[in-house]
Chains A and B, each alone.
Chain A
Amino acid sequence: MDANALKQALQQRFGELAWQYSESRRGERRLVIPAGQLLSYLEFLRSDCGFDALLDITCVDYLHYRGAKDRFGLVYLLGTSTSGERLVLRCYLNEPNLKIASAVPLWEGANWLEREVFDMFGIAFEGHPDLRRVLLPEEFAGFPLRKDYPLRGRGERHNFERISRNQS
């Protein structure tokens, strides 16, 4: 689907003001959408626009990013199963409302990808069947990929109980 057809389809379905379409100088297509409507956008793009493959879900913490208005940017990379076409879907979340609909009903593969975002950024995916930490221990308290989490230093090990030789 070329850019104009995509824009037209989006306009018919969601109106004109809700979304923003842009293309980078490298020709990467980007679509910024309201976070509340994520699922309906994903469903529409998957069934009507041919973006049937979800490649990745990730998140960016814009805390120290110069000129950024929102705290978290969620990134959904969509592709097709037949060609190399790509679309980068983005929406923004702000504290304290770090919740968004889960994409698991549409793509099974979103399961672990969303768990990783939850693990690293603390964003809750509503409707996720099994939202637990995936890489870090369940007792872990912080969200390491947030920008206010330091690279090194004290803190991360305090979660674990110290066991002396006599106790073990």
Chain B
Amino acid sequence: MNSKKIMLVPLDPVHDVGLKMIRRGLDEAGHETVLLPPDLPVEEIVQEIYNSDANTVLVSRTLGYGVAEILARLVDLLDAMGIRHRVKLGIGGMAIRPELAAELGFDAGFGPGTTVEEAVAFVEGREYKGASFRAGKTKHDITQGHSYAYRHDGIKEKLELIADMVLSWAEGKTSPGVKRAAIRDELWDVQRWRNYEQMTDFLQEYPAHCGELAQNFYKKGIFHPKTRRFTREEAAGLEEYVRRTREEMRVPKLQHSRTKPLVFNQYGTGCPFMDIAHIKVSEAWGVDGVVHFDPSWGARTEGLLDGFLTHQEDGTVITPANLNRIKLALEPSTLWQVRAHRGLNTPETVVLAGQIGADLTKINICYGSLGGGTDPARMTVDAVWAMRYAAKYGLPFDVVTNEELCGVPAYKAFAGMLITTAVGVRLGARPILQPLFCYSPEVMVGLQMQDNYIEFNAAKVMALGQIIDAPIWPGAPVGFLTQSEDRVQSSASTAFHASLAALLGVDGVTIASSDEAYSGGPISVPSKIDTLRAVGEGFRFFGKTSLAPTKDMEIWRDQIVTGIEEVLTKVAEKGDFVQALYDGVLGSREDGAYPGRNGKDTVFPL
């Protein structure tokens, strides 16, 4: 490489520290540098350049009104004197961006965050490739590297026993949900559907196993009162929107020097068009995965609707066409989770998500039964089948513990999560543990978070790590009940919780948008950007710093592990997992958990 001659020009009265850092880098790289005194008049600087044989000039100047004109004049003088073509010109400083550099007539602009290496690359005429974490984005398997090996013998023994119990209980049982899933799996084919082929067999069989709402849709063409089909123009508009957005789409990374956690963001405005816009924004601001939220009535409805439908309230209806449109709009690197977990369509949602091409789903028996409103027996038989389909379609699923938000203590919720996990592993599926990072009723009363939000959340992750080598994906979203209607507070809280997840080395994290807790309606795009930016800054701030265990973390970790084992012992002693759910062993009425009633008495012998 040829040695370059660089003139460093601090136009600012005082701020030349950046240039001094760059000078050190250039000197170390074997280049010859001359640093001019700060704040010389433009004419004098031009004269210095004219009299020198410098081939690169790096100027530093903080921007303010009127400064742009001074910088432009410097460039103009060099051009008019016929020396502009022999020097490469770079400008750096606060508020400097490539667009501004272009406007001023420079060859490159370096704003805050510019590395010395970047400046050296410019001088040497090399393309700056940056560190690996800035390179191209690919889709990651969140479960990679986990063996699902148990690390706690006592808990392993009990979970194996309970998994046997659950599977033998579900053996020979079915439900309308299980039947619809089988019909969807056997008679509905995504390729034929995409080719507009008639699914006569499917349509003959399917409606008979649906509830009134879906039957009215298939037999009488009656829509759910808060849904309607998109018009042709709207559909064409969406296609055009996606096409145009793709033309300019970039997918940056949020992570700084760590590769984990993958960051997920939720969508579900009710309108798939708006969802897609939200997804594109999330992708453009660095999200790794997106999570589909369906309406709450979807969980209580037997059967899925069809068609490209918009819904006038929160939650986007799960239909083949809606999911397909969303799938087609995703960037190739984006992980896509379609939640199945809590309602009467759990196994069928897994089948449909698998066929359409989702990457992840969500299944949990205990939360679905105790906080999600579904009858425990129905939830159990449906979830067992859902996990079989998740294994068949290669969909890892998270096992969420949202019953904590009802007031169920973490150790009980974790016991339920681990039971679902054990059953899933037995069925060949890849479950993901999803502890909440939240300010739960348990800690509000028990004061574990009176001082900080770190130690109890860390204890949860440490406890799970002592029990099993499984992927951990705190959610959903992290910081639940810590966020307020103040968007700055909300973003900061989310960023701190996501950073905690990074320090704990977990695999994924779901984050809220800053107006999510108090949106009073659909989440807004700016609020998505708020938290994604904040989380990115959090990752940058903490880098690879480690978190040292504290005494309280260890105490709470041990209490959680002990509590889990005690709960599992009680379930095992009861000899009937489903009965244990009804009886409150995994979360009682006193805790705030109520066995659901949706789908009650709909489990039948095969």
Q: A and B, one complex? A: no
Q: Give chain A's interface residues, CB within 8 Å of chain B.
A: none
Q: Give chain B's interface residues, CB within 8 Å of chain A.
A: none
